[in-house]
């Protein structure tokens, strides 16, 4: 059985991909692990260790071939395949996700948005139609949906998460400010905006306190 | 000089606050560290260690007083004070942040939204006016702004972050998919949506691979 890769490594992989994409855009063909480590602000040995989880891609005395490493990390991240998303919740956040500029580029396609507000029915956001929750089951069964983004109030999100799992969806992108309970074969990624804002504030307070003491 | 509190602890504090808020809503007056640990899915010793960073709030043989612990963590997070925000970028994400339901409740007030699109000038989102970027300097100088949320494309975000720092803003909430370079007395909290979606996908792929091997 394959070793389970730790969440800290998984967390860093998209960041590697992002930096390698930027290097490619700039036309950089190869990069030493020392240079990559400097622009990414992580140690060269951490980069090597992280990549070794997936087989390793370094080349002695040459560094990394940017295009190759970019594409290999893209494969690890599943970006060589198309992923279909639905968004539950047709509010501002649902609109923001549906109109996000870079998802498309990476093979993520928003196939539909679902809401209970009948006034939104039939509207289109960046090519994705807003449908009613009553249409959800039929839609998911007749479209290959991998991922559901949840942009609804926390009061309803666990119930809807349960239903989406019943429909066979294996990945939930949760924007409601509550931790979901899911089955073992289902993964969740949280974007807790309130938590994030509080963390920023706490860091700001701590930073101010340190700077005052240093004065 | 005070010990610098680690980012993993800082990351967990808003989550404690969230769970304690939920307990309060349910009318729970006291909770043992074992019960709190169970609902939060962390060990009781980790809770104790985390809280000890801020002085510790446990009471032997009694557990935690929920209201007291909630309020104390609120103070640590700076939620006993009002924080004024501006949002740079009047798109869907800017709208979503300005209309977020729980920010207000925690003392975060969106005082203004700034954009370059003249068609948006004068619009109001949940009480916050959309102004033009040319009005930014005067506005920031005459309002006590703590935090700027950046919901603009990555191409412009570093330049605008620099300018906001010149204006004295000490906390940047960055939604652009790029890592910002900031001064020592400024803090950044990133919400990298593309990274988050890729992490979800990677977890989904890894989870599927494991489940197939186990069948």
Q: How confident is the model at residue A55 (pLDDT cuts 50, 70, 90)?
A: confident
Contact B78 A205 (CB under 8 A): yes
ipTM over 0.90: yes
Q: Which residues contact A200 (CB under 8 A, 6 or more apart)?
A: B147, B171, B173, B187, B188, B189
The helix (H) or strand (E) run that includes residue B44 is helix B44-52
Rounded Cα distance, B73 and B106, in Å? 12
Rounded Cα distance, B170 and B184, in Å? 10
Answer whether A175's CB lies under 8 Å from A191's CB.
yes
Would an 8 Å CB–CB cutoff place B146 in contact with chain A? yes
From the list B5, B108, B185, the residue facing A197 with the nearest CB is: B108
Would an 8 Å CB–CB cutoff place A3 in contact with chain B? no
Three-state DSSP state, A185: coil
Q: Which residues contact A150 (CB under 8 A, 6 or more apart)?
A: A88, A89, A157, A160, A161, A172, A173, A174, A175, A176
Considering only CB atoms, which chain B residues are within 8 Å of A100? Answer: 193-194
- Minimum Cα–Cα distance from B76: chain A residue: A202
Rounded Cα distance, A150 and A2, in Å? 30
Contact B203 A96 (CB under 8 A): no
Give the closest residue to A193 by CA, choosing from A91, A93, A87. A93
| Interface contacts (A, B; CB < 8 Å) | 202
Would an 8 Å CB–CB cutoff place B204 in contact with chain A? yes
Whether the CA torsion A29, A33, A37, A42 is positive or negative: it is positive
Please give the sequence-ordered ranges of beta strands (E in DSSP) within B4-81, or none if there are none. 30-31, 64-65
Question: What region, left, alpha or beta, does residue B26 occupy, with left being phi > 0 and alpha being psi -120 to 50 degrees?
Answer: alpha
Answer whether B111's CB lies under 8 Å from B85's CB.
yes
For chain A, give the percent of residues with pLDDT over 70.
96
The helix (H) or strand (E) run that includes residue B147 is strand B147-150
Beta bridge partners of B94: none
Contact B198 A96 (CB under 8 A): no
- Pairing mode of beta strands B30-31, B64-65: antiparallel
CA distance B12 to chain A (A): 9
Would an 8 Å CB–CB cutoff place A39 in contact with chain B? no
Q: Within 10 A of B214 (CB to CB), how many other CB atoms are there?
A: 9
Contact A147 B201 (CB under 8 A): yes
Query: Of the given ranges (A111-120, B49-58, B76-85, B88-97), which has the lowest mean pLDDT?
Result: B49-58
Taking the CA of residue B203 as centre, how many other CA atoms within 13 Å lie in the half-sphere pointing to its CB? 25
Contact B95 A92 (CB under 8 A): yes
Considering only CB atoms, which chain A residues are within 8 Å of B182? Answer: none
Classify burial at B131, counting beta carbons within 10 Å of its beta carbon; exposed 0-12, middle 13-18, buried 19 or more. Answer: buried
Give the closest residue to B167 by CA, choosing from B190, B130, B139, B187. B139
From the list B92, B178, B209, the residue facing A96 with the nearest CB is: B92
What pTM was computed for the model?
0.93
Q: pLDDT by residue (tens digit) across B149-206?
A: 999 999 999 999 999 999 999 999 999 999 999 999 999 999 999 999 999 999 999 9
Three-state DSSP state, A80: coil
**Average pLDDT across chain A, whole number:** 92
CA distance A62 to chain B (A): 27
Answer whether B152's CB lies under 8 Å from B126's CB.
no
Answer whether A199's CB lies under 8 Å from B189's CB.
yes
Contact B198 A103 (CB under 8 A): no
Would an 8 Å CB–CB cutoff place B70 in contact with chain A? no
- Minimum Cα–Cα distance from A194: chain B residue: B103
Q: Which residues contact A159 (CB under 8 A, 6 or more apart)?
A: none
From the list B187, B192, B201, the residue facing A78 with the nearest CB is: B201
Which ranges in chain A belong to alpha helices (H)? 7-25, 33-40, 44-52, 66-76, 92-98, 101-105, 136-142, 154-166, 193-214
Answer whether B59's CB lies under 8 Å from B31's CB.
no
Rounded Cα distance, A106 and B62, in Å? 52
Higher pLDDT, B215 or A25: A25
Rounded Cα distance, A69 and A51, in Å? 10
From the list B14, B41, B195, the residue facing A194 with the nearest CB is: B14
Considering only CB atoms, which chain B residues are within 8 Å of A192? Answer: 14-15, 18
Q: How confident is the model at residue A1 (pLDDT cuts 50, 70, 90)?
A: very low
Would an 8 Å CB–CB cutoff place A196 in contact with chain B? yes
Would an 8 Å CB–CB cutoff place B170 in contact with chain A? yes
Contact A102 B177 (CB under 8 A): yes
Q: How confident is the model at residue B210 (pLDDT cuts 50, 70, 90)?
A: confident
- Minimum Cα–Cα distance from B104: chain A residue: A194
* Test mutation, A1, A92, A196, chain B, max B CBs within 10 A: A92
Q: How confident is the model at residue B44 (pLDDT cuts 50, 70, 90)?
A: confident
Residue B2 has pLDDT above 60, yes or no: no
Q: How many helices (H) and strands (E) does chain A have?
A: 9, 9
Looking at residue A2, its pLDDT comes to 57
From the list A2, A147, A204, the residue facing B171 with the nearest CB is: A204
């Amino acid at each position: 059985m394959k070793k389970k890769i730790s969440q800290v490594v998984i967390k860093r992989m998209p960041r590697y991909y992002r930096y390698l994409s930027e290097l490619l855009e700039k036309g950089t063909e190869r990069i030493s692990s020392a240079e990559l480590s400097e622009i990414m602000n992580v140690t060269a040995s951490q980069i090597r260790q992280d990549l070794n989880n997936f087989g390793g891609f370094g080349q002695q005395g040459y560094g990394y071939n940017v295009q190759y490493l970019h594409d290999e990390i893209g494969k690890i991240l599943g970006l060589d395949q198309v992923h279909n998303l639905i968004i539950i919740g047709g509010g501002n956040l649902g609109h923001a996700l549906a109109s996000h500029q870079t998802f498309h580029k990476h093979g993520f396609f928003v196939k539909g948005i679902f809401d209970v507000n009948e006034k939104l029915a039939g509207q289109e956001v960046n090519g994705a139609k807003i449908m009613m929750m009553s249409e959800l089951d039929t839609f998911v069964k007749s479209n290959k949906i991998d991922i559901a983004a949840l942009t609804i109030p926390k009061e309803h999100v666990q119930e809807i998460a349960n239903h989406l799992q019943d429909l066979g969806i294996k990945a939930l992108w949760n924007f409601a400010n509550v931790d979901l309970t899911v089955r073992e074969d289902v993964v969740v990624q949280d974007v807790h905006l309130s938590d994030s804002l509080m963390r920023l504030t706490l860091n700001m307070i701590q930073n101010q306190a340190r700077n005052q003491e240093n004065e």
